[in-house]
Structure 1
Amino acid sequence: MLPEDAMVYDVSRRLADLFSDRHILETDDSDFDLIRYAAEGKCSLHLMDATHAQLDMTWDTRERQARTEPRNAFYEVLWRGKRLHCLSLTYGLCDTERHFLIAEREQDAHDLFSAVCTWGAEVRGEILVWRGGAWSRDKLLMKQIESASFDSLILADSLRDELLADFDGFFSARDLYARYGVAWKRGILLLGPPGNGKTHCIKAMIQRLGRPCLYVRSFRPAKGTVAQSIEAVFTKARAVAPCLLILEDLDSLVDEASRSFFLNEMDGFAENEGILTVATTNHPKKLDPALLDRPSRFDRKITFDLPAPPERLRFLTVTSGQREEAARIDETEIEEIVRLTEGFSFAYLKELGLSGLMAWVRDPVPGTMGQVLRSQVDTLRRQMKTTKPKPIVEEEDDDG
């Protein structure tokens, strides 16, 4: 079997022989998504009958339907009164894509390439997710964001006001930043134990602001280096700014090997104009001090602590009120459950409600939900002890 580079060269050479009177433009640019461009009605795309098209059939579990997608195919492209052809190949373990755009005139190929890439680089009311070294559109994440709001996020009033002031104020303050000679960029780090609303807060913020959003799940690429992946993310953010750049679980995204590359990109003051970077971490002690303690990278650090009694009371009251009357907690018992759930995260409070409801439906006696929940508290507290992460051991400096 030919090495990948040799195979691509062989295809290029053969096409040059077959279409010696045409111009051939080659690209593996991720923004050149000709199929999506055609699906939006920007051009017409037809499989050529004279050539074999390799089609993959997949099952979409979310939509519950089969999908047929071309893997390797030769197309006729009709665009702005011009007729071009495109050979699209997918190959290798990493499913690398390469396109060969064939046109009578070099300018036609360049014009179509520019039009498709310009359109593909735009973020239009959607979330672009970076993982595996490529951008994709996550329909499930988009649905979660569309249903998220600060109204359903239970926080201390002071924290809620602080968050809204930071998020709402950034994009409207461009002129103010310029007046005082300050780079229009901001970094906010959300930290605290898991299950206390950081991710919900980010989704509600994305929904509230309605700005282009880039969501990073991992910098580790299927092909290439982490440094190249980091550079690609920030390059995209600068191209679509003003925008949101979300870095989920920052402690797992950036390690010692990639730290300097990441810091260099974060420090691009002029280049990062209009980028609101929001990162989360459950383990701030794992972050390098250069990330955690330097204000120019993350100007604000907002802690999502375990819910205090007032927040637990609000959570239990709201969730209980959403159920049918027979399954609600008696008002006289809520205060006791609030006391018993000291140290519970919002995630554990949610699980308490769910497991309690499942236990209650086995013997659905009206007015007994509080008793059922009290018994479930002990079960969950034992679970919390068995799943508690080991403490992080700080290494001492060699010089003492």
Structure 2
Amino acid sequence: MNTLLTRLEQRAVADGSHLEGPSWRDDALNAALEAESLDGEGEDALLRAVRLNRPDRATLMVWLDRDQLLRFLRERCARFRSLVRGDDAIADWDNPSIQRPYVGWYGAEWRGEAVEVALSPGGSASAASLCIAPDAATLKAFVAEASAWALRPAGRCLVYSGDWESAPELDQEMGRVTWDDIVLPPSVLARLREAVEGFFAHREAYAALGFPWRRGVLLVGPPGTGKTMVCKASASALPRLPFLYVRSLSARCGRDSIEEIFGRARHLAPCILAFEDMDGLVTEENRSVFLNEMDGFKRNDGLLILASSNHPGRIDEALLKRPSRFDRVFHLGPPALPERLACCRRVLASLAGCMDPRLDAERLAGAVARATEGFTPAFLKEAFTAAALEQAQAGETALGERFARGVLAQVRELRDHIRRSRDPEDLASMRTSADAIGLRRRGARDAEEAGGP
């Protein structure tokens, strides 16, 4: 970095480009890239270049969502343009079709003043950006407005996995799951809807009674009982509110992550803040910070916190036993017979276009529902899905009696799997074979160890 910056300084003084000319910005980005490759501090190279070439300008380093920051320049400023050659982007790890700038230097006019934003090399959505303005007062006002814009999601959803990022793929999911898709006892579903929708509908009542306008809802139960679907249905029921989803905390410092999460939620309130598998997010190291953020001195007006847990026994009692943190706890267990029957009917209805008209779907739904006590909705759906895929792979597209027999066979296999998964000794004997889905019949392991086939 020092060698490149020395050449940059010599060139700037020799040809006068420290006073005018676009080429120094390209050299500054190259210096930042070289610094990033050596020690990961590319933003220092950008700041040094600005101080050399524009010593009269005010600068401020910020860490904001870059996509939103550039969107602010495009939509809220005039004469937005790139001030350097080329276009360097980085693709999202999970979805390569989503790309964001890796480095760049942009100019625009904001309220009649020339402003610039230089993006330091960085792969995260909120890597360092250097804001440049003619004076400190203009810079302060510009950054304040740009920050308020950049803190908003590009669509409706934000996902946190060490940094907040807009989530277009989650935006596309919004509205696809509604309360009508949730299979729960009617009384439980009604209380869930009231806890979610009633909270936002009765803001004035909270104020009149002098209660803080916040709510925490905790969903507990084994995997596959519909906790994630309840979160999605809640978001669908409140389409005008931002939906903030916490996937994981930063590996660097969970305490800082929690403060960042709640800070963004307060800025966007009223909103929904969802924590999935919360028992794995709140640890001994960040417990006190999480408790303080939930109901400490900071106001959480307008926050509906939805949290789920597969292992409620691992959740700190301070979260469970104080109503100001989670004042509604819903236990979502395996469905009873009426709910299992409703679930089977819905799955079969989704397959109606492929079904043989001679198949008695209602009879099949009843048979499966009666045979699946202890099954979660996820296991129920798997029985039908696996049987349909097996038939499709055999070249049969019409789901008839063979499909029905296949569903019942899958039920038996899954029932055995559930039993084995509760017994570590039996679970150790699972295998993959032509006649079983990850299962081994009793005695097979002993025969194998004795030299049998």
TM-score range, shorter chain: 0.7 to 0.9
Structure whose residues are more often helix by fraction: 2
Corresponding residue to 1:47 among 82, 89, 102: 82
| Whole-Å separation in 2 of the counterparts to 1:150 and 1:332 | 26
Do structure 1's residue 191 and structure 2's residue 220 form an aligned pair?
yes
Do structure 1's residue 38 and structure 2's residue 73 form an aligned pair?
yes
For 2:410, the equivalent position in structure 1 comes to 376
For 1:309, the equivalent position in structure 2 comes to 337
| Residue type of the alignment partner of 1:99 | S
| Whole-Å separation in 2 of the counterparts to 1:61 and 1:285 | 32
For 2:446, the equivalent position in structure 1 comes to none
Q: 1:59 Cα deviation (Å)?
A: 7.8
| Whole-Å separation in 2 of the counterparts to 1:10 and 1:261 | 35
The answer as to whether partners of 1:53 and 1:70 remain within 8 angstroms in 2 is no
Structure 1 SS opposite 2:250:
strand
Q: 1:139 Cα deviation (Å)?
A: 1.8
Cα deviation code 1:20-75 (max 9, x no counterpart): 232223323448943222354644432224xx55613548986x8585x5322222
Percent identical among aligned pairs is 31
Do structure 1's residue 142 and structure 2's residue 171 form an aligned pair?
yes
For 2:26, the equivalent position in structure 1 comes to none
Do structure 1's residue 12 and structure 2's residue 47 form an aligned pair?
yes
For 1:99, the equivalent position in structure 2 comes to 129
Structure 2 SS opposite 1:136:
strand
The answer as to whether partners of 2:153 and 2:165 remain within 8 angstroms in 1 is no
The answer as to whether partners of 1:320 and 1:329 remain within 8 angstroms in 2 is no
| Whole-Å separation in 1 of the counterparts to 2:200 and 2:345 | 35
| Residue type of the alignment partner of 2:88 | L
Cα deviation code 1:101-144 (max 9, x no counterpart): 23333333223222211212235750111111x11112222222
Do structure 1's residue 337 and structure 2's residue 365 form an aligned pair?
no
Structure whose residues are more often strand by fraction: 1
For 2:259, the equivalent position in structure 1 comes to 231
Cα deviation code 1:217-236 (max 9, x no counterpart): 11225x5x211111111112
For 1:203, the equivalent position in structure 2 comes to 232
Q: 1:252 Cα deviation (Å)?
A: 0.8
Q: 1:266 Cα deviation (Å)?
A: 0.9
| Residue type of the alignment partner of 1:16 | R
| Whole-Å separation in 1 of the counterparts to 2:289 and 2:331 | 26
Do structure 1's residue 22 and structure 2's residue 57 form an aligned pair?
yes
| Residue type of the alignment partner of 1:352 | A
For 1:253, the equivalent position in structure 2 comes to 281
Do structure 1's residue 111 and structure 2's residue 144 form an aligned pair?
no
Cα deviation code 1:3-31 (max 9, x no counterpart): 75865445423321211232223323448
| Residue type of the alignment partner of 1:317 | R
For 2:102, the equivalent position in structure 1 comes to 71
| Residue type of the alignment partner of 2:382 | E
| Residue type of the alignment partner of 1:26 | M
The answer as to whether partners of 1:189 and 1:278 remain within 8 angstroms in 2 is yes
Equivalences, count? 383
Q: 1:259 Cα deviation (Å)?
A: 0.8
- CA change 1:336–1:87 in 2 (3 A) is closer
- CA change 1:349–1:66 in 2 (3 A) is closer
| Whole-Å separation in 1 of the counterparts to 2:225 and 2:296 | 32
Cα deviation code 1:275-327 (max 9, x no counterpart): 11111001101111111222221111101110111011111122223323417
Do structure 1's residue 319 and structure 2's residue 353 form an aligned pair?
no
Structure 1 SS opposite 2:88:
strand
For 2:185, the equivalent position in structure 1 comes to 156
| Residue type of the alignment partner of 1:145 | M
- CA change 1:113–1:5 in 2 (3 A) is same
Structure 1 SS opposite 2:174:
helix
The answer as to whether partners of 2:80 and 2:108 remain within 8 angstroms in 1 is yes
| Whole-Å separation in 1 of the counterparts to 2:423 and 2:149 | 46
The answer as to whether partners of 1:31 and 1:116 remain within 8 angstroms in 2 is no
Do structure 1's residue 88 and structure 2's residue 119 form an aligned pair?
yes
Corresponding residue to 2:247 among 205, 217, 238: 217
| Whole-Å separation in 2 of the counterparts to 1:375 and 1:9 | 64
The answer as to whether partners of 2:64 and 2:150 remain within 8 angstroms in 1 is no
The answer as to whether partners of 1:185 and 1:274 remain within 8 angstroms in 2 is yes
| Residue type of the alignment partner of 2:142 | L
Structure 2 SS opposite 1:326:
coil
- CA change 1:389–1:27 in 2 (3 A) is farther
> TM-score, with normalisation over the residues of structure 1?
0.86
| Residue type of the alignment partner of 1:55 | D
The answer as to whether partners of 1:186 and 1:275 remain within 8 angstroms in 2 is yes
Cα deviation code 1:158-197 (max 9, x no counterpart): 1111111111211122222222222221111011111011
| Residue type of the alignment partner of 1:34 | L
Q: Which runs of 5+ in 1 are unaligned?
A: 392-400
- CA change 1:183–1:154 in 2 (3 A) is same
Q: Which runs of 5+ in 2 are unaligned?
A: 2-34, 426-453
For 1:398, the equivalent position in structure 2 comes to none
| Residue type of the alignment partner of 1:376 | Q
Cα deviation code 1:246-287 (max 9, x no counterpart): 111110111111111111111226611221111100110111
- Aligned Cα RMSD in Å? 2.9
| Whole-Å separation in 1 of the counterparts to 2:406 and 2:40 | 64
| Residue type of the alignment partner of 1:290 | A
| Residue type of the alignment partner of 1:191 | V
